[in-house]
């Protein structure tokens, strides 16, 4: 039986590494994850080289000549100052490692060793080396382990960034349904969660039933040309946070997508090359930064045309609209303010979604979905470029399978399966309703689901005031009679 992440003991090993680093003076979880990422990369790239050599004994590989001293097979046997010096030189020089992909080189941009305590470094190196992360067709231990490691990021960035829960990402991806041959972009990619979910979705939809029944998602029905497109051209991810870029690159590498275009880029201040919008995509999936603002002079003028705003969530909404191919699809998370804001920029975004796009769904999410990172209330927009919206399907999610507090413990209540079941046909129910676009326009362009999802209430008939007074008089008479009885008894 194939081992999965929960039975592998890898979660406990990750926890132990984080505890070792904390005790050894690396107190920031972001720094700890960065340092573990470097070690994982050195180990995995060396193991891949060893596999090549087993196939071709004449293969020299990356670790030849002056690079041989940085082989993981040598590093994990070192101790003390020799280990410290060798590992520090390795991560500082790896940006120039021959044959390393451009994406891989970004991982080591301005890399520096932050584990200064020698025994701590030795313990972490040994801990990484002892991790059993061999992957088979039925499990993805490397990827699951790294995503668990990324869950240790407990604080949001100063610009409103925070990790999107995997089950929310997967729900959006299933609704948008990316396919082989499509270009897929996340312009605020963080740790690459949306891109990896899209990749797994495509593989699952191109895996034979026999493999699926064995619990294996192999993509075995994909032709070689489709595989090549997925590995080299399908995915693009951008982020303006250097740490997030490094974590995203490592996450992609562990899922065998090391050739993916994933780079440092601020989508609202810089074009992808040429005049705006210089590049468009078939699918956009994103959870952009909330509650942030950009210096007015830094914002792309073409992006901000007609908006006149510095709010990142509104600028990203415009970016999504502008960068979809004709007929392209988007599934994006936005804060509630985008749904109901009364400023011109808010209304312009909503009007553009209705008049120049097909807004297929607005999914209202409960306020605790992003705890412990943020308590902000959010929603999901699902829309298609082109056409004009005739009606919008609203769905109100009251529970997502976890408690809506900082602990986020699993519970039975979960509306997401019902959401996915109703979405294809836009079925109406207790939590969902189709609203004609004119009704939305008449309601000041509000996308607030509570304005439309009005549940029928049982009508209560109240007695006429004269009847109520009569009853009160009767009760008063009964009380007086009981008082008289009590007085007689006392005498």
- For 5-146, CATH gives 1.20.1260.30
Choosing among 3.40.50.300, 3.40.50.150, 1.10.10.10, 3.90.420.10, the CATH entry for 155-451 is 3.40.50.150
pLDDT in tens, 455-477: 544 444 556 676 677 667 766 77
Residue recorded with tokens 């804060």: 335
pLDDT confidence of residue 466 = 66
Q: Which helix (H) or strand (E) holds 129?
A: helix 118-129
pLDDT per residue as tens, the chain (491 positions):
344 665 678 889 999 999 999 999 998 888 998 999 889 888 888 888 888 777 887 777 777 778 888 889 899 999 999 999 999 998 998 888 877 777 778 888 888 999 999 999 999 999 999 988 765 444 566 777 877 887 777 544 444 456 788 899 999 999 999 999 999 999 999 889 999 999 999 999 999 999 999 888 899 999 999 999 999 999 999 998 888 888 888 888 888 888 899 988 898 888 888 888 889 999 999 999 876 667 777 778 888 888 888 888 999 999 999 999 999 999 999 999 999 999 999 999 999 999 999 999 999 999 888 877 777 889 999 999 999 999 999 999 999 999 988 788 889 999 999 999 999 999 999 999 999 999 999 999 999 999 998 754 444 455 667 667 766 776 677 677 667 666 666 65
Distance CA 91, CA 104 (A): 12
Strands 357-364 and 400-402, sheet pairing = unpaired
The C-alpha angle with vertex 267 and arms to 263 and 268, in degrees rounded to 5, equals: 155
Residue 456 has a pLDDT of 43
> For residues 265 and 290, what is the distance between their CA atoms, to the nearest angstrom?
17
pLDDT value at residue 474: 64
CA angle (37 as vertex; 32, 41 as ends), nearest 5: 155
- Torsions phi, psi for 386 (to 5 deg): 100, 165
Instruction: Round to whole Å and give the CA distance between 389 and 383.
Output: 9
The residues with which 414 forms a beta bridge, in sequence order, are 400
Residue extents of the structural domains in the chain:
5-146, 155-451
Please report, for residues 230, 236, 345, the alpha-carbon distance to residue 440 in angstroms, rounded to integers and kept in the order given.
39, 34, 17
The reply to whether 5-146 and 155-451 are identical in fold is no
In the block, which residue shows the tokens 């005498």? 491
Cα 429 to Cα 118, 171, 279, distances in angstroms = 61, 19, 39
List of residues 6+ apart from 179 with CB closer than 8 A: 202, 205
Q: Give the pLDDT confidence score for residue 391 in this predicted structure.
A: 97
Residue 18's pLDDT is 93
Residue 22 pLDDT? 93
Task: Please give the pLDDT value at position 156.
Answer: 42
> Is the sign of the CA dihedral 416, 418, 420, 422 positive or negative?
negative
Q: Which one, of 357, 368, 362, 274, lies nearest residue 322 by Cα?
A: 357
Cα 203 from chain centroid?
19
């Amino acid at each position: 039986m194939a081992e999965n992440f929960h039975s592998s003991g890898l979660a406990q090993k990750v926890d132990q590494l984080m505890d070792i680093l904390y005790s050894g003076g690396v107190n920031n979880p972001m720094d700890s994850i960065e340092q573990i990422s470097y070690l994982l990369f050195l180990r995995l790239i060396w193991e891949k080289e060893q596999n090549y050599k087993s196939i071709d004994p004449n293969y020299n590989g990356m670790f030849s000549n002056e690079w041989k001293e940085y082989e993981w097979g040598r590093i994990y046997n070192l101790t003390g100052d020799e280990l410290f010096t060798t590992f520090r030189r390795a991560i500082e020089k790896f940006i120039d490692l021959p044959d390393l992909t451009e994406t891989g080189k970004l991982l080591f941009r301005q890399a520096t060793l932050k584990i200064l305590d020698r025994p701590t470094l030795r313990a972490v190196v040994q801990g990484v080396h002892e991790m059993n992360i061999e992957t088979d067709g039925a499990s993805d231990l490397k990827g699951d382990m790294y995503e668990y490691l990324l869950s240790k990021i407990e604080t949001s960035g100063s610009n409103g960034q925070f990790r999107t829960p995997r089950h929310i990402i997967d729900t959006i991806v299933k609704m948008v349904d990316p396919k082989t041959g499509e270009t897929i972009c996340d312009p605020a990619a963080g740790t690459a969660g949306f891109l990896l979910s899209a990749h797994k979705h495509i593989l699952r939809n191109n895996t034979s039933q026999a493999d699926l029944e064995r619990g294996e998602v192999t993509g075995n029905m994909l032709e070689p040309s489709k595989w090549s497109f997925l590995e080299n051209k399908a995915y693009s991810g951008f982020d303006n946070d250097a740490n997030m870029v490094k974590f995203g690159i490592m996450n992609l590498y562990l899922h065998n997508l090391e050739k993916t275009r994933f780079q440092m880029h601020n989508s609202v201040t810089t074009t992808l090359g040429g005049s705006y919008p210089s590049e468009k995509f078939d699918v956009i999936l994103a959870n952009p930064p909330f509650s942030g603002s950009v210096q007015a002079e830094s914002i792309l003028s073409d992006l901000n045309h007609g908006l006149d705003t510095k709010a990142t969530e509104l600028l990203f909404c415009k970016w999504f609209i502008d960068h979809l191919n004709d007929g392209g699809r988007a599934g994006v998370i936005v804060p509630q303010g985008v749904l109901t804001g009364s400023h011109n920029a808010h209304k312009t975004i909503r009007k553009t979604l209705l008049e120049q796009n097909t807004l297929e769904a607005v999914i209202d999410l409960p306020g605790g979905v992003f705890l412990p990172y943020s308590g902000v209330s959010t929603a999901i927009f699902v829309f298609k470029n082109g056409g004009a919206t005739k009606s919008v399907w609203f769905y109100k999610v009251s529970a997502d399978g976890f408690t809506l507090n900082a602990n986020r413990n699993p519970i039975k209540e979960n509306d997401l399966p019902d959401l996915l079941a109703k979405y294809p046909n836009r079925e109406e129910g207790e939590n969902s309703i189709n609203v004609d676009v004119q009704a939305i326009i008449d309601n000041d362009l509000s996308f607030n689901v509570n304005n439309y999802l009005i549940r029928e209430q049982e009508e209560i008939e109240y007695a006429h005031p004269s009847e109520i007074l009569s009853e009160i008089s009767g009760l008063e008479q009964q009380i007086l009679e009981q008082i008289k009885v009590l007085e007689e008894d006392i005498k």
